Structure 1
Amino acid sequence: MPRLQQYDYVFAIGTFFALLDAYNNGANDVANAWATSVSSRSITYRQAMVLGTIFEMVGAITVGARTADTIKNGIIPNSAFKGDAGVQMLAFTCALAGASTWVMWCTRHSAHVSSTYSLISAIAGVGIATVGASKVQWGWNGGKGLGAIFAGLGMAPAIAAGFGAAIFMLIKVTVHMRKNPVKWAVYTSPFFFLIAGTICTLSIVYKGSPKLGLNKKPAWYVASVVMGTGIGLCILSAIFFVPYVYAKVIKRDASVKWYHVFMGPALLYRQAPEGEALSVVPNYAVVQEEDEDYTKGTPATLVNGDRGSDEKTDRDLAMPELRLVSPQQTPHMAATPSPYPATFKELSAAAEEKFHAKLRQKRGPLGWAMRTLHENPMGPGAIYETKNMKIFAKRLPAMITVGALYGLHYDIHAAQSGIHGTPEGARMERVYSYAQKYPNEVEHTYSFVQVLTACTASFAHGANDIGNSVGPWAVIYSAWNTGDAAASKLPVPLWQLAVLSAAISVGLITYGYNIMKVMGNKITYHSPSRGTSMEMGAAVTVLVFSQYSLPVSTSMCITGATVGVGLCNGTLKAVNFQRVGLLMISWIATIPIAGTIAGVLMGLFLNAPHFSS
C-alpha cells in the first residue's frame, strides 16, 4: 500500500511528541535511577550523565524492542482499527501527547511520576475514545494486557524492596558487622562484581534482541556466556581492583593514581615514597562541611525573624542581591525588610540565589550566561517595548546556554538535604539520625562497586523503558510509511531505538536535576554500600519484568529498593514516609489524569465537525 502522504502532519506531530516523551523519560525516570549514585556521592553528576548516556543507549538498542511490542499491540488490539491506518496514527499520536504533557508538567514541578504508566494510561484512554472500552485489553492478555501491566504497580516496588534489602543485609552481615570491616569490604568486593556482571550479561543474552539473534542460541551457550562473563569479571576485579583498593584504603598510599590499577598484584608490595602524606578517602556523609555554606546559607535572621538590629543584616552581608522587591521596584531599589519570619519560599529563594551567585563567578560559558542574565534584567512594560526587545536579544543566547549547562553544575546534595530552618530540613535531620553511619573507608570501597551497579541499572532502564516512546512512534511510522494498520506488528527499526535513546540522554543531562534534587536522600540516608544494594535490587527487578515483556516503572523499582534498604536500619523512622506517600499519590493520580488527557484529545479530533467533499 502507498505511503499516507495526506497524513504527513500527523506523522510530524507524532514524531515531535515521541521525542518529547523520550526527553521527559530521561528527565524524570532516568534521573531518578541515577539519583541514588549521586546521592551516595559515589559519582558526580557529570560522570553520571556520561555513563548514563552510554548504557541507556546500549540497553535500548540491544534489548529494548521486546517491551515495545507490548506497548504497540498489547493494550489496543490491532484489529480494533479495522485496517484504518490514519485513525491508528492519530490514536498513538494523542497517546504520546497526553503522556508527555502530564510528565512534563510533573517534571517542571519536581513531582516524580512514572512515564511508563503515564503512557500506558494514555493508550488506554485513547482506546476507549477510539474503539470503546470493550475493545481495550483490560485483562491479562497473555501477560500483555492492562491487568498484567498494572499488576506491576504493586508488585514491582515490593519485589525491588525485597531484593534491595536482601543484598544490603548480605553486605551488612558480611562486612559492616565485622570487627575489621575495611578488610572485609575490600576482599569481598569481587563477589558483587560477579553479581553485577552476571545480571547485565544475562539481560543481553537470555532471549536477547532479535537483531542480534541471541534468543535463538541453545541453553548451554546462554549459560556459558553468562556465567563466563560474570566469573571473568570477578577474577579481573580480584587481580586488579582488590590490590588497588588495598593500597588506597588499607595501606593509605596517597601516591597511588588511577592508572596504577594496571599494576595488579604488584601494588600489594609497592612501597610508598618516604614523607608522603597518608591518603584520605572522601567523606560520604550526607551533609558535609563544604555543603553547609549552601544548605545553611539562609542566615539566622531569616530563620529567627530578628530584624530589629540597626546593624546591616546577615542577608545584606551574605547575599546582597536577595532583598525582596515589589513588582513596582527595579532590582536596584532596596526593599524594606519584613518584620515577620521568613517563609519557606523565601528561604528557598535565598539559598538558590546564593548558589546562582557562585555560578556567576565561574569561568566558561555558564558563568558568562549567568552574569549576562543577572546584569540584563527585563525592564518595566511589555516585552514588545523597544528597550525590552533589545534586552531580550542579549538574554536569548544566555538563556539557551543556561538551559543546556545549568543541570551539569546544579548542587544536588544541598538541595536533597533540605533547607535549614524549615520543617523539611528538620525532618531530614531526624531521618538521617536513625541511620547507622559506617566508616568512610568501607563506603569508599563500595563507591567503586556502585559505579558498576549504576551502569547495570541504567542498562536495565534502557532495555525496559525505551518501549514507552518507541512503541507508539513505531506504530505511527509503520502506518504512515506503508498505509497498512497491520504493519505495526513489524519489528521496531534499530534507528528508532537509537534516536529515542539519544533523546532520553538529552533529557537526563539538561533537566534531570529537577527530579534528582527531590529524590535520593529525601527518602532515607544514602551511602555507597546502601546505594549499591538499592541499584542492584532495582536492576534485578526491572530485568525480570523485561524478560517477560512487561513494561515496569524503573522509578517505582528504585523507590521500592530505597525503602527496603532504609528499613534495614531497624526502624520505620529511618524512612521519610511523607515523601513516599507523595510519590504513591502521584503514581496513582497518573492513571486517570494521563488517560483522560489523551482520551479527550482523541475524542475531540475523531469527532470534530468537518466539511464533506
Structure 2
Amino acid sequence: MPILEEYTYVFAIGTFFALLEAYNNGANDVANAWATSVSSRSVTYRQAMLLCLIFEMTGALAVGARTASTIKNGIIPISAFENNAGVQLLAFTCASAGAATWVMWCTRHNAHVSSTYSLVSSIAGVGVATVGAKGVQWGWNKGQGLGAIFSGLAMAPLIAGGFGAAIFMLIKLVVHLRTNPVPWAVWTSPFFFLIAGTICTLSIVYKGSPKLGLNNKPGWYIASVSLGTGFGLFLLAALFFVPYVHGKVVKKDYTLKLYHVFLGPLLFKRPAPADAEFAKVPDYAVIHHAGEDEDDSSSDKSVTKVHSDDELAEKNAIKGDAITPTPVPVHNGAKTLAEEENAVPVNAQAVYQAQLRRALERHHADLRKTRGPIGWAMRTLHNNPPGAGSVYERHNMKALLRRLPAYPVVACFYGLYYDIHKSQVGVMGTPEGRRMDRVYAHATKYPNEVEYLYSFVQIITACTASFAHGANDVGNAVGVWAAMYAAWSTSTATAAKAEVPLWQIAVTALTICIGFITYGYNIMKVMGNKITYHSPSRGSSMEMGAAITILIFSQYKLPVSTSMCITGATVGVGLCNGTPKAVNWQRVGLLFFSWVMTIPIAGLIGGITMGLFLNAPHF
C-alpha cells in the first residue's frame, strides 16, 4: 500500500508526542516504582538506572505487546474512522499530545499522576471529538472498553495492597516477631527468589510472547516451566546467596566481597575476622526527610561566603523583617520589648521556600565540585549568572551565550548525579516534616541486620516490578504509535488485530528508561518515604505486591497504572504496622485526587486539540 505522504508531517508530530508520552511514563511511573528501593537505600540511583534499563527492556520485549491492542482499538472502534487513515492518524496524534502535555506539566511540578490513565482519558476525549460520545466504548467491551480500564482505578490499589500486606505479614510473622530474627531472615530468604522467578517466568509463558511460540502451550507446560524456574532460583539462592549473607550478617565478616558469593557453601567454613563483633551494617532506621542546615558543609571553599537573596529572605523572615511590621503602640509600659518583638508577624511561607531553595543550592554546590560534564556544566551556570536588566542587555546576552552549551549537558546528566536523600534535607520543622515524624513514630523499627539482608531481596523484587512495568506500560505509548505508523505507511485505517512491530516496542521501552534516568528524580524525591515508613523488608513487600498485580492485569489485556499499584501496596504495608496513623492519609488523598482529576483534564486537552484540528478551515 502507498504511504500517506500528505500526512507525513502529522506522523512526525505524532511520533514526537508518542515518544514524549513514553518519556513521561518513565519519569513518572518508573520513578515511582523504584522510589521505594532508592529511598530504603537498597540500591543507589545509578544502580537503579542500570537495572531498570535491563528489566524494562526485557519485560517490554517479552510480553509488552499484549496491552497495545487495548489502547489502540479497545476505546475507539476501528469502524468509527470509516477507513479514513488521515483521521485515525490525527486522532492518535492528538491523544498522545494531550497525555504527554498533562503528564509533563505534572512531573515538572512534582505532581504524581498516572500516565496510563492520562493516555486512556485523552483517547476518550479524542473519540468524543471525532465520532461523538456514542462512538466511544464506555462499557466493558469484552474487557477492552473504558469501563474495564477505569475499574482498575479502584481494583488495582486494593488488590496490590492485599498482596503487599500479605507478603509483609508473612515476613513479620516468620522473621520480625522472632526473639532472634536474624537467622530466620537468612534461612527464609530463598523463598523470595522462588516468588520472583515464578512470577517473571509465568508472565512470559502464560499467554506470553507469540514471538517465542509460548502463547499456545498446554497448562502442564506452563506450570512446570514456571515452577521449575522458580525452584531453580530457590536452589541457587540456597547454595550461593544464603552462605554469603550468613557470613555478612550472622558472622559479620566485613571482608567478604561480592565475588565471594561463588564460593557457595564453602563460606560457612570461612573464619570471621577477630574484630568482626565490632562490624556494623548500614543504619536503615533513619529519617530521610530531616537534616541540619550546615551552611558550610557543601559550599564552595574557593568562593567567598556571600549571603544569597534566599538566605537573607530567610533570616529576615525569621526576624520578622520579611514584611514591614506595623508599629506596636506602647500603652504605659503594658508590653515589654520582648512582647513587642514576639508580636511582629513572621512570613512563614518565605521561610519555607527559602529553606527548600537553600537545600537545593547545597546539592548544586556538591555537583560543582565533581569532575566530568556535569561538574563543568554546573560551574558554568554558577559562574555566569544573569545580571540586572532585561534579557537583551549586553551583559545578559553574553551570559546567555556562555550558559547555552551547559543546558543540554545538565538535561542529560543531572539525573545521574541527583541525590534524593539530600533533596529531602532542609524541610525539618515544616508542616510536612512534622507530619512525617508522627507517621514514622507509629512504625516499628526492626534490627538493621535483618533490614540489611532484605536489601538484597529488595533488589530482586524491584527488578520484578520493573519487568512488570515494562510488560504492561510499554503498550500505552506503543499502541498509539503503532496505530499512527500503520495508518501512515498503508494509507488505510489500521486493522483491529494489526501486529505491533518489535522495533517500535524496543524504541518505546528505551525511551521509557531514558525518561527515568534523566527526569525521574522529580517524582522520586517526593514519593520516597512520603506515604509511610520505608525499609528494605517493607519495600520488597510493596514492590512484589505491585508486580503481581500489574502482571495479572497485563495478562488479561487491561492497562493498569503502575503508580496506583505501588501506592496501594505501600498503604497496605503501612497498615500492617497495626494502626492507620502509620500512613500519611493526606498524601494518599492528594494522590487519589490527582488520579481522578487526570481523567477530565487529559480528556479535555486531547478532545479540544482534536476538535480544533479536525474542524479547522481548509481548502
- Confirm or deny: 8 A CA contact 2:310 2:357 kept in the other structure: no
Instruction: Say whether 1:242 aligns with 2:242.
Output: yes
1:449 match: 457
Q: CA deviation at 1:326?
A: 10
Tell me, what secondary structure is at the counterpart of 2:211?
coil
Matches within 5 A, 1:365-384: 365-384=373-392
CA distance in 1, matches of 2:312, 2:485: 52
Change (3 A) 1:392 1:80: same
2:497 aligned to 484, 489, 498, which one?
A: 489
Tell me, what secondary structure is at the counterpart of 1:20?
helix
What do the CA deviations read for 1:29-61 (whole angstroms, capped 9, x no partner)?
A: 100000011111111111001101111111111
- Confirm or deny: 8 A CA contact 2:281 2:448 kept in the other structure: yes
Change (3 A) 1:481 1:262: same
2:561 match: 553
1:296 match: 292
Give the AA of the match of 2:489.
N
What do the CA deviations read for 1:443-494 (whole angstroms, capped 9, x no partner)?
A: 0111001000000000000000011100000000000000110345311000
Give the AA of the match of 2:88.
Q
Q: CA deviation at 1:386?
A: 3.5
- Confirm or deny: 8 A CA contact 1:26 1:505 kept in the other structure: yes
CA distance in 2, matches of 1:220, 1:461: 27
1:322 match: 308
Matches within 5 A, 1:511-522: 511-522=519-530
Matches within 5 A, 1:568-587: 568-587=576-595
CA distance in 2, matches of 1:385, 1:402: 25
Change (3 A) 1:319 1:283: farther
- Confirm or deny: 8 A CA contact 2:39 2:528 kept in the other structure: yes
Give the AA of the match of 2:293.
G
Please give the TM-score of this superposition, normalised by the length of structure 1. Answer: 0.92
Q: CA deviation at 1:319?
A: 7.1
- Confirm or deny: 8 A CA contact 2:311 2:358 kept in the other structure: no
Give the AA of the match of 1:461.
H
2:90 match: 90
1:261 match: 261
Matches within 5 A, 1:533-612: 533-611=541-619
- Confirm or deny: 8 A CA contact 1:297 1:354 kept in the other structure: no
CA distance in 1, matches of 2:608, 2:308: 44
CA distance in 2, matches of 1:281, 1:326: 41
CA distance in 2, matches of 1:286, 1:53: 29
- Confirm or deny: 8 A CA contact 1:479 1:488 kept in the other structure: no
Matches within 5 A, 1:35-54: 35-54=35-54
Q: CA deviation at 1:216?
A: 1.7
- Confirm or deny: 8 A CA contact 1:470 1:500 kept in the other structure: yes
Q: CA deviation at 1:387?
A: 3.0
Instruction: Say whether 1:203 aligns with 2:203.
Output: yes
Note the aligned Cα RMSD (angstroms).
Answer: 2.0
Instruction: Say whether 1:505 aligns with 2:527.
Output: no
Tell me, what secondary structure is at the counterpart of 2:445?
coil
Q: CA deviation at 1:321?
A: 4.4
Instruction: Say whether 1:461 aligns with 2:465.
Output: no
Instruction: Say whether 1:523 aligns with 2:519.
Output: no
- Confirm or deny: 8 A CA contact 1:416 1:522 kept in the other structure: no
Give the AA of the match of 1:27.
A
- Structure 1 range deviating more: 525-534 or 204-213: 204-213
What do the CA deviations read for 1:210-261 (whole angstroms, capped 9, x no partner)?
A: 2222102222221111011000000000000000000011001111111100
CA distance in 1, matches of 2:276, 2:356: 44
CA distance in 1, matches of 2:416, 2:305: 23
Change (3 A) 1:248 1:325: closer
Query: What is the identity percentage for the equivalent residue pairs of Structure 1 and Structure 2?
Result: 69
1:194 match: 194
Tell me, what secondary structure is at the counterpart of 2:215?
helix
2:438 match: 430
CA distance in 2, matches of 1:264, 1:59: 30
- Confirm or deny: 8 A CA contact 2:24 2:100 kept in the other structure: yes
CA distance in 1, matches of 2:304, 2:34: 33
Structure 1: which 5+ residue stretches go unaligned?
A: 300-316, 328-335
1:65 match: 65
Q: CA deviation at 1:609?
A: 1.0
Give the AA of the match of 1:406.
Y
Q: CA deviation at 1:394?
A: 1.5
Q: CA deviation at 1:380?
A: 2.7
Structure 2: which 5+ residue stretches go unaligned?
A: 296-302, 314-319, 324-345
1:75 match: 75
CA distance in 2, matches of 1:98, 1:474: 17
Q: CA deviation at 1:278?
A: 4.4
- Confirm or deny: 8 A CA contact 1:322 1:353 kept in the other structure: no
Q: CA deviation at 1:337?
A: 6.9
- Matched pairs, number: 582
- Confirm or deny: 8 A CA contact 2:360 2:423 kept in the other structure: no
Change (3 A) 1:186 1:319: farther
Tell me, what secondary structure is at the counterpart of 1:370?
helix
Q: CA deviation at 1:418?
A: 6.7
Q: CA deviation at 1:274?
A: 4.8
Matches within 5 A, 1:213-228: 213-228=213-228
Please give the TM-score of this superposition, normalised by the length of structure 2. Answer: 0.91
- Confirm or deny: 8 A CA contact 2:252 2:276 kept in the other structure: no
1:128 match: 128
CA distance in 1, matches of 2:71, 2:543: 25
2:212 match: 212
What do the CA deviations read for 1:475-528 (whole angstroms, capped 9, x no partner)?
A: 000000001103453110000000011110110001100000111300000000
Tell me, what secondary structure is at the counterpart of 1:377?
coil
Change (3 A) 1:541 1:319: farther
Tell me, what secondary structure is at the counterpart of 1:141?
coil
CA distance in 2, matches of 1:278, 1:197: 36
CA distance in 1, matches of 2:308, 2:579: 41
1:475 match: 483
